[in-house]
Amino acid sequence: MDLKGIKLTWLGHATFRIETPEGSMFYVDPWVGGNPMCPENEKNVKKADVLVCTHGHGDHIADAVEIGTKHNATAVGIFELCTWLQKKGVKQIAPMNKGGTQTVAGVKITMVHAVHSCGIQDGDEIVYGGEACGYVLEFSNGVKMYHAGDTNVFSDMAIIRDLYAPKIAMLPIGDHFTMSPREAAYACKLLQPEIVIPMHFGTFPMLTGRPSELQQLAPQVKVFEMKPGQTMASL
């Protein structure tokens, strides 16, 4: 599938760098510094315009404050998470909630449900971070991507298909903290994407799910395994 000017880079775990056709740089779940899967040359972020955050766990937002302040990037997230990021120094925030859509740097961002938790580790405390979510990103060229964040499968994924029909889905498959390939295969039935990009696997030994298992369980979709640091203009 041609991404029509979008450049998509997986940085390991749930972190994606997406350059829009207009040249804006999006980071979904900015975790680079401590991310064992992130290539060394990607750890020093050179340009960031928008940080799209699915929830407050460290393996998703650990670098949001640093990148957000250094590059004056706009943090998109659920209300409570954005407020926390602002308190920590991120000046540009674009808070929202589930079912809402806002356009940031030319991308229509819809916040959708996820089944997961969302406490934020703040020093030695865990503070309330709102709820975990996923996103449907619709780019100016019409390409739509669903980034599920951390989640179990849930039946309302059928609503995501009906309302937004994203052809590309980034789904967690690692097991333990999210879906395993078994649940992700069911998610494929509900979402009916053309292409699934597996994520949130292999980062730590306990994240045991593998793309090959998902492909076996969901032969109707194309499971596209990206390599960390690899940039794709088509999938």
Q: Which residue has the tokens 């690899």?
A: 230
The residue (of 57 and 71) whose beta carbon lies closer to Ni ion is: 57
The residue (of 149 and 193) whose beta carbon lies closer to Ni ion is: 149
> What's the closest the beta carbon of residue 156 comes to Ni ion, in angstroms?
19
Window 57-96: residues binding Mn ion (CB under 5 A) = 59
Cα dist from 150 to 39, 54, 62, 108, 198, whole Å: 22, 8, 15, 21, 12
Q: Between 133 and 172, how does the x/- string for binding to Ni ion read (CB under 5 A)?
A: -----------------x----------------------
Q: For residues 3 and 220, what is the distance between their CA atoms, to the nearest angstrom? A: 21
* Residue 200 interacts with Ni ion (CB under 5 A): yes or no: no
Compute, in degrees rounded to 10, the torsion defined by CA atoms 117, 121, 122, 123: 160
Is-contact 179 172, C-beta < 8 A? yes
The residue (of 6 and 32) whose beta carbon lies closer to Ni ion is: 32
The interface partner of residue 175, options being Mn ion, Ni ion, none and the CB cut-off 5 to 8 Å by kind, is: none
Structure token pair of residue 89: 């120094």
The residue (of 19 and 63) whose beta carbon lies closer to Mn ion is: 63
Strand partners, 145: 137, 168
Residue 136's SS3 state is strand
* Residue 29 interacts with Mn ion (CB under 5 A): yes or no: no
Is-contact 224 197, C-beta < 8 A? yes
Q: Say how many residues touch Ni ion, by CB under 5 A.
A: 2
> What's the closest the beta carbon of residue 123 comes to Mn ion, in angstroms?
20
> What's the closest the beta carbon of residue 55 comes to Ni ion, in angstroms?
6
* Residue 150 interacts with Mn ion (CB under 5 A): yes or no: yes
> What's the closest the beta carbon of residue 57 comes to Ni ion, in angstroms?
4
> What's the closest the beta carbon of residue 151 comes to Ni ion, in angstroms?
9
234: exposed, middle or buried (Cβ count in 10 Å: 0-12, 13-18, 19+)? exposed
Q: Which residue has the tokens 């865990």?
A: 126
Q: Between 40 and 59, how does the x/- string for binding to Ni ion read (CB under 5 A)?
A: -----------------x--
Per DSSP bridges, beta strands 92-96 and 74-78 are: parallel
Structure token pair of residue 208: 């045991």
- Site residues for Mn ion per CB under 5 A: 59, 150
- Site residues for Ni ion per CB under 5 A: 57, 150
